[in-house]
Amino acid sequence: MELKPVNACHDCPIRHSAVCAECDADELKVLERIKSYKTVPAGAHLAEAGREMEFLSSIISGCATMSRTLEDGRRQTVGLLLPSNFIGRPGRASSPYDVEAISEVTLCRFERKAFEDLVRSTPHIATRLMTMALDELDSAREWAVVLGRMSAREKVLSFLVRLARRNAAQMGQDAPEDALTLHLPLSREELADYLGLTIETTSRQFTALRKDGLIELPSNRDVHIPDFDRLAIEAGEDEDGGLIA
């Protein structure tokens, strides 16, 4: 994740996967005029439920979560935001969820009003946003199946499979390597909030998967998967491949 400072779009690591992916050179110039970069430390709040947002932004590097906390403290993470993901939406001033930086995050920001005008005048941005929204919709529904019907073990397995697929896709690979090591962007507690479990149950499942030889745990944040296909089968994969992240 070591990143040299980005100054221009043609240097940008998410140039071809973010909201600007379909833009041509002229459109990119307009974007370039209204964009600004910002790096925030882990723990920063990028949006708060109900609070007005001044900027819409793309994640260039780092990781953030989108979550809802109920008043009794229960919390559910509804999205894991990684590079190229978009925060905020045109046509609405506030996010319905809290968005929090989990690691240091570098953003490419657009002042909201200016971006909304741009969406109207630049079809390539509107169609790209539509595609991204539809992809995320599939992903959210996919996750609903996990939350609604899967056991704790399957939830953890599904998470690992999705993360591996997402990483592979970002590296331009078609499928994850046979054997690979994942770095977990989330702590056990953050993971539990994502999986709809408690931290204890999550931890127990990691231990159980280790004892079953499906994973190794070189550190708390690293998971080595000796045989990805076996993991995917255990996760309950029928369709070969499934959707990415």
Partner DNA sequence: CGCTACATTGAGCTCCTTCAACGACGGTGG
Partner DNA sequence: CCACCGTCGTTGAAGGAGCTCAATGTAGCG
Q: Is 113 in the site for a copy of itself (CB under 8 A)?
A: no
DSSP state of 228: H
Q: Is 159 in the site for DNA (CB under 7 A)?
A: no
Q: Is 158 in the site for DNA (CB under 7 A)?
A: no
Give the chain's count of helices (H) and strands (E): 7, 11
In this chain, which of 111, 136, 188, 230 binds a copy of itself, going by CB under 8 A?
A: 136
* Residue spans of beta strands (DSSP E) within the chain: 35-40, 45-47, 55-61, 64-69, 75-81, 86-87, 98-101, 105-111, 180-183, 216-219, 222-225
Report H helices in 11-151. 25-34, 112-121, 123-149
- How many residues at the interface with DNA, by CB under 7 A? 20
Q: How far apart are the first and last CA of the chain?
A: 19
Q: Is 152 in the site for DNA (CB under 7 A)?
A: yes
Window 164-203: residues binding DNA (CB under 7 A):
187-189, 196-203
Residue 187 CB, nearest approach to a copy of itself (Å): 17
In this chain, which of 207, 212, 216, 222 binds DNA, going by CB under 7 A?
A: 207
- Pick one of a copy of itself, DNA, none as the site partner of residue 78 (Cβ within 5 to 8 A by kind): a copy of itself
Q: Is 16 in the site for a copy of itself (CB under 8 A)?
A: no
In the structure encoding, which two tokens stand for residue 79, read together?
A: 């999205």
Please state, in angstroms and rounded to a whole number, the distance separating the CA atoms of residues 59 and 39.
10
Site string for DNA, 209-238 (x = CB under 7 A): --------x--xx-----------------
∠ CA 10-14-20, rounded to 5°: 75
Beta bridge partners of 56: 110
Q: Is 141 in the site for a copy of itself (CB under 8 A)?
A: yes
Please state, in angstroms and rounded to a whole number, the distance separating the CA atoms of residues 187 and 220.
8
- Pick one of a copy of itself, DNA, none as the site partner of residue 96 (Cβ within 5 to 8 A by kind): a copy of itself
* CA distances for 177 relative to 18, 127, 157, 159, 193, angstroms: 25, 32, 16, 16, 28
Which residues of the chain form contacts with DNA (CB under 7 A)? 151-153, 187-189, 196-204, 206-207, 217, 220-221
Which residues of the chain form contacts with a copy of itself (CB under 8 A)? 49-50, 66, 68, 70-71, 74-76, 78-79, 89, 91-92, 96-97, 119-120, 123, 126-127, 129-131, 133-134, 136-138, 140-145, 147-149, 195-196, 236, 238-239, 243
